[in-house]
Amino acid sequence: MARRSSAISGQWLQFAATILFAAALTVLLMLGMRRADELQSASSALQLASELSSRPAIVRSELTLLQRGLETTTYVGDPLRNIAAIRESSNEAFPLIEQQLRGARLADQPDVAGPLAVALNRWQSLDRGLEALNKKRSAELYLDTNSGSELTASGKQMKAAVDSMLAAQSQNLQIMGDKLGQLCAMLRANVADNGRSLRSILLGGTGVAALLLGMMLYYAWRARLSAASAASAQRQVANILGTVREGLFLVGRDMRLGETCSASLTQLLRLPATAGLSFEQLLEPLVDQKTMTAALKFLGLLWKDKVHEELIESVNPLSQIEVSFPNSHGGTDTRYLAFSFRRVRGDEASADYLLGVVADVTDRVLLARELEHAKADNDSQASLLLQLLRVDPNQLQSFLATADVAFRKSNAMLTAPGIEQQDLKKKLNGVFRELHAIKGEAAALALRSFVERIHAIEDALSALRGKAALSGNDFLPLVVRLDELMTHVATIQSMQERVASFRLQGAKSPSEAHADEQRDTTVINEPVALEPPPAAPTPAPAAASAPASAPILELLRPLAQEVARAQGRAVRLVARGLEHVPARYSAAVKDICIQMIRNAVVHGIESPQLRAQHGKSAEGTVQISFATDSPEDYLLTIEDDGRGLSYEQIMDKALRQGLLRPQQAMALDRATVYRLIFQPGFSTVDQVSEHAGRGVGLDAVGSLVREHGGKVGVSTVAGQYTRFKVLLPKLATASAAAPSAA
């Protein structure tokens, strides 16, 4: 900045010196021109005065010639004509002398004006006499006689006038000559002075002109150096602008781009040229109207002097934008551009331009995303590992086996051929039931990774359920997602095996661990005879509850609390008789209880505030019982003390979904209406959540009961309870009974 100030001061000094010398030269030239004019006027006056100074003698000579001619009666025409010419030229000369003296600025000087006035006065006196002579004609002066020529009366009068004039005007002519001589002397002195003054002025002007020429040559040399430096700087700027990867440009107060910009700008923005474009035209192919409006407002803030640039940079709407450019293959390339702006101004000057910088940050954005994905994967792996550590290994192993079977079954259903709408709908509902059941068990085990993935697939299934006509291609994305789920199962199985090995290593003593390590690393080169393993002890007869009671309860209690927490409810789970569940019904009872608990908490149990208004305890109760009293069937009962089923709400939803026609609805009894809740896709909840709203839970229960040849029924009292009873045959049956109301 100091160098710039010094350069500006030097430029002003050069400018001032040039102006000063030019002004001095101008003044000298003006003085010289004025002095030259005065010298010319004085010289002209001197020439005229010199000519007039000889006139008295000439007039005397001519008068003398005229006198002698009259005396001798010879021809006097020439003297008369000469006198007339002298008179005429003299009368013209005196005004000219006065004019030239005024031009020479001498008319007011007494030494000049005095002699001229006296000479003029004398001449005027003489001129009057000469004027009378000019009126006479030479032919009228003589008269021819026998004795010769004689003077006529006019000739005698002229002779007398000439004699008198020579006698009377001799002194005037002498004085006139002296005064004109004196005037000539004064004019000569003045001409000499003016000549010397003009010479001095010219010498001074020549000196100033020489100095000015020297300065101009010096400035030209400096300008050449500056031009060379500027050209070098311009080349450097051009090299920089042609080399930098960022797009640099200037925006004026009129919101138009300047002529200078970096070569990368047009490449980054895919534009042929940017000079002269408005900033709005620059952004138009890049951003939407909302972003453009925000960007123009942001630039308007930057023009304000009191705005802090660093603070408002955080609200820059162009800090990162996604842009799609067409490519040569007919597709599009997605790039990410970042714009930043700075005011261009001095220390005290207001901003004249905004420096815009645009950079391609695609690599940075993609790298950041990769890092985020990697971090998310790491977090997901860590979270998944924590989930696995919290789950009982046996329960987890059982869940993974069940999930793998369900996913493969769902995949088989999705890939099965079928073009009829009925087959496609059946396929859709079957997959929905399988996945919903697995999601419920995953939620019970707090395996969030499964719950979230299956919930996303259920969203896609719900979208397909809403389509008027399905096609086989609609299920292709679901096949891909199922494949991801099966891969996730494999990942969890691998992690579960590692966790199990870590637990096993932790349970061994140091010596055993060392022995295992030695065995793992020892190479056996000789065959070893293997002894048969000892026979396993014969287990004692166990109660029917041994295979199922503890795992089911450990699964259902956290599930009830998780669903209650998600719904803002308080729930107490009471279970009786689950220890009597036979092994062959263990999985079915578990799945039925999972779906029923979720259904009871979401649809039945009210919020603590609403329960208090109805005189109920804030904590709702869900009771599960398993009875073996009947000789033919096992009885599974799930009951909640919630709001009960709403006949009107079920009827209204069935009419809106097209499950019933108005004429049918009028003829149905309550039992038949309640049976509608087992229909695929039917739900009285309008808002879909992780635990309800799909219309799959009770459909899955009914399907599961049918697979085992059982029956399911429902009874309810509004505001008091809802009770589901499931009958499972004690003897295996090949026929499946449709669910019926109890």
Write the DSSP symbol of residue 196: H
Q: Tell me: the pLDDT tens digits for 73-126?
A: 787 788 888 888 888 888 888 898 888 888 888 888 888 888 888 888 888 888
- Encoding tokens for residue 387? 């989930």
Tell me the C-alpha distance between 197 and 39, whole Å.
10
Residue in the block written with tokens 């925006």 = 251
Q: Tell me: the pLDDT tens digits for 426-476?
A: 777 788 777 777 777 777 777 777 777 888 887 777 777 767 777 777 777
Residue 519 class from Cβ within 10 Å (0-12 exposed, 13-18 middle, 19+ buried)? exposed
Tell me the C-alpha distance between 446 and 555, whole Å.
9
Tell me the C-alpha distance between 255 and 283, whole Å.
12
In this prediction, residue 502 carries a pLDDT of 62
Q: Tell me: the pLDDT tens digits for 541-557?
A: 333 333 444 567 777 88
Amino acid at 511: S
Residue 726, C-beta contacts closer than 8 angstroms, at least 6 positions apart: 592, 635, 636, 637, 638, 701, 705, 710, 711, 712
**Is the pTM higher than 0.75?**
no
The percent helix, strand, coil of the chain (3-state, each to 5) is: 65, 10, 25
Work out the widest C-alpha separation in the chain, in whole angstroms: 210
Please answer whether residues 481 and 460 qualify as being in contact, where contact means their C-beta atoms are separated by less than 8 angstroms. yes
Residue 358 class from Cβ within 10 Å (0-12 exposed, 13-18 middle, 19+ buried)? buried
* Average pLDDT of the residues of the chain: 78
Mean pLDDT on 355-365: 87
Q: Tell me: the pLDDT tens digits for 297-341?
A: 888 888 887 777 777 778 888 888 888 888 777 678 888 999 988
- Encoding tokens for residue 104? 């020479």
pLDDT band at 506 (very low <50, low <70, confident <90, very high): low
Residue 616, C-beta contacts closer than 8 angstroms, at least 6 positions apart: 606, 641
Q: What is the CA radius of gyration of the chain?
A: 64
Amino acid at 16: A
- For the chain, give the percent of residues with pLDDT over 90: 5
Q: How many residues does the chain have?
A: 742
Q: Among candidates 738, 668, 702, which has minimal Cα distance to 599?
A: 702
Residue in the block written with tokens 């430029």 = 11
SS3 728: strand
Residue 84 class from Cβ within 10 Å (0-12 exposed, 13-18 middle, 19+ buried)? middle
Provide long-range contacts, Cβ within 8 A and 24+ apart, for 4-9: none
H-helix segments, 139-169: 153-168
Residue in the block written with tokens 């002194």 = 171
Q: What domains lie within the chain, and their CATH numbers?
A: 11-213 (1.20.120), 244-360 (3.30.450.20), 391-504 (1.20.120.160), 549-729 (3.30.565.10)
Q: pLDDT at residue 696 above 80?
A: no
| CA 143, chain centre distance (Å) | 122
The backbone torsions φ and ψ at residue 571, rounded to the nearest 5 degrees and listed phi first, read -135, 140
Q: In DSSP terms, which residues pair with 335 in a beta bridge?
A: 323
